[in-house]
Amino acid sequence: MIGEFIKFLKANHSISKVITDPSPDNPRAIRCYEKVGFNRVGEIKTPNGKAILMEYEV
C-alpha cells in the first residue's frame, strides 16, 4: 500500500518530499517505510512521545 502511495506521489510533480514519524516502538512500520525508500533523519518529540523522523525524496 505504501508502495502504491509512492507511485502516486511520483506522478504528481508538485510534491517533492514526504515526511512520516513512526513510533520507535513500532519496528515493523519503520522497516516498511525503509523498504520503500524512506530514510531516518532524526528523532522528534510528539504529543504522543518520541518518534523517528523519516523522509522520502520524491
Three-state SS for 9? helix
Bridge-partner residues for 52, per DSSP?
Answer: 43
Three-state SS for 51? strand
* Tens of pLDDT, residues 2-55: 888 888 888 877 888 999 999 999 999 999 999 999 999 999 999 999 999 999
> What does R_g of the chain's alpha carbons equal in angstroms?
12
pTM: 0.84
Domain boundaries, the chain: 2-57
Asked if residues 4 and 31 have their Cβ atoms less than 8 Å apart, the reply is no
* Site of grid cell 508502495: 3
